[in-house]
């Protein structure tokens, strides 16, 4: 399967965002640990939630791109059908 530039960028950003989530959550926990375990867990959860939302935004770019590609394919098929119908109308007249 041939990968486009968009697919390569998407794969990189997706992997980087997941690594950012894992490492960032751990670092956030360690930074806020001096305030207590409950506060550190709370801060880590907030960081985790925000970074997972960002990851979902990156995934939505890919979904929209796939939807666009599928719509373009369907448009090409419909144009071919319309041309074929127009040709048969001309032949019948």
DSSP state letters, 5-59: HHHHHHHHHHHHHHHHHHHHHHHHHHHHGGG-HHHHHHHHHHHHHHHHHHHHHHH
Half-sphere exposure of 11 (CA within 13 A, CB side): 6
> Would you say the pTM of this structure is higher than 0.85?
no
Q: What is the pLDDT of residues 44-71, one digit of tens each?
A: 999 999 999 988 888 898 899 889 999 9
Predicted local distance difference test score (pLDDT) of residue 61: 85
Predicted local distance difference test score (pLDDT) of residue 1: 55
Confidence at 33, pLDDT banded by 50, 70, 90: very high
For the residues 76-87, what does the mean pLDDT come to? 89
For the residues 10-27, what does the mean pLDDT come to? 89
């Amino acid at each position: 399967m041939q990968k486009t530039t968009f697919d390569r960028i998407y794969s990189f950003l997706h992997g980087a965002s997941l690594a950012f989530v894992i490492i960032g959550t751990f670092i956030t926990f360690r930074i806020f640990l001096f305030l207590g375990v409950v506060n550190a867990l709370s801060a880590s959860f907030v960081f985790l939630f925000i970074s997972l939302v960002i990851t979902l935004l990156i995934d939505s770019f890919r979904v929209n791109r796939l939807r666009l590609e599928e719509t373009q394919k369907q448009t090409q098929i419909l144009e071919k059908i319309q041309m074929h119908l127009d040709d048969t109308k001309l032949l019948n007249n």
